[in-house]
Amino acid sequence: MKSLFLLVLATGELAVSGVAGSWGVENGSLHVTLGANGSLSMLHKASRTNWATLVLRFTSSLGVIVGSEDGNSWAVPYLHYFEGMAMPRRFGYVGGLTTATWPGKFKFAGDYISIDLNERVRAPLWDLVFHDSVVSTWRWEHTSDRYGDPKWWDKHDLLLLIAGNMPIFLVNREHLRNAGERIVQSYKTVSEWNARTGWDELVDHRALNADRSVQESRFSSGWAVTVNFSQDKSYDALKPFSYRIHRWKETSEHEK
């Protein structure tokens, strides 16, 4: 899939449209459009939200998949995916982690483990509202293949599964040679689950034990996933650090 990072200014519509057509672009990603940085709105008389809405209406007319850095409820009708909304901290930025250091591993700050990778404080509130309308993923530079310890990549996949979120990777040929097999594993674990439930509402999410190490999410098509985040305790025949996909109801409106 050919992708394009889109920076749309007041005079950029024809340029973006021309590039999308001549390059055969299938996917675009808008940056600094929905986030906290208001610098671009200084170029326009309209409010930032009104200006961004005009941008999104235009990009949604291009006939390609369009996503955005960060997310907002008012932008849901115009976009296919939001990057960063799968993280519990708004924008979820880790300083010094850029494409200049990719694909080097990064060291976790304490709050990255205690918040972003901690199932006990996470809840998929955004996806309980918008899962059937827009896809959520992690920030583009915080990809799981950059974790120094493989166990965090495994946990990252489990966190994506429980919320119905998609994985995200930056790749080139050399990186695929080194990490390709594990990336394919994430695809088979997470992306195939996304394909099964991507159009569904996330209708229920619950913790099944007191410490929230075992959680279940139910989707409107009748599919559910139970994840055991514990590294050393089984739960109802579910081994540590594993998951089970199952049916929570046999028929649904989607299947009638």
pLDDT at 38 over 50: no
- 8 A C-beta contact, residue 30 and residue 66: yes
CA atoms of 139 and 65, how far apart (whole Å): 18
pLDDT at 142 over 90: no
**Residue ranges per domain, the chain?**
3-199
Looking at residue 151, its pLDDT comes to 92
CA atoms of 24 and 114, how far apart (whole Å): 42
SS3 category, 45: coil
- Residue 255, C-beta contacts closer than 8 angstroms, at least 6 positions apart: 221, 222
Which of 6-10, 111-115, 168-172, 240-244 is predicted with the least confidence, judged by mean pLDDT?
6-10
DSSP states of 142-185 = S-GGGBSSHHHHHHHHHHHHHHTPPP-----HHHHHHHHHHHHH
User: Average pLDDT over the chain, rounded to whole?
Assistant: 81
Give, in words, the CATH class of 3-199.
alpha beta
Taking the model in full, what pTM does it have?
A: 0.84
Looking at residue 6, its pLDDT comes to 47
SS3 category, 51: helix
Which has more pLDDT, 21 or 136? 136
pLDDT at 21 over 90: no
Band of the pLDDT at 15, cuts 50, 70, 90?
very low
pLDDT one-digit tens code per residue, 190-239: 999 999 999 999 999 999 999 999 999 999 999 999 999 999 999 999 99
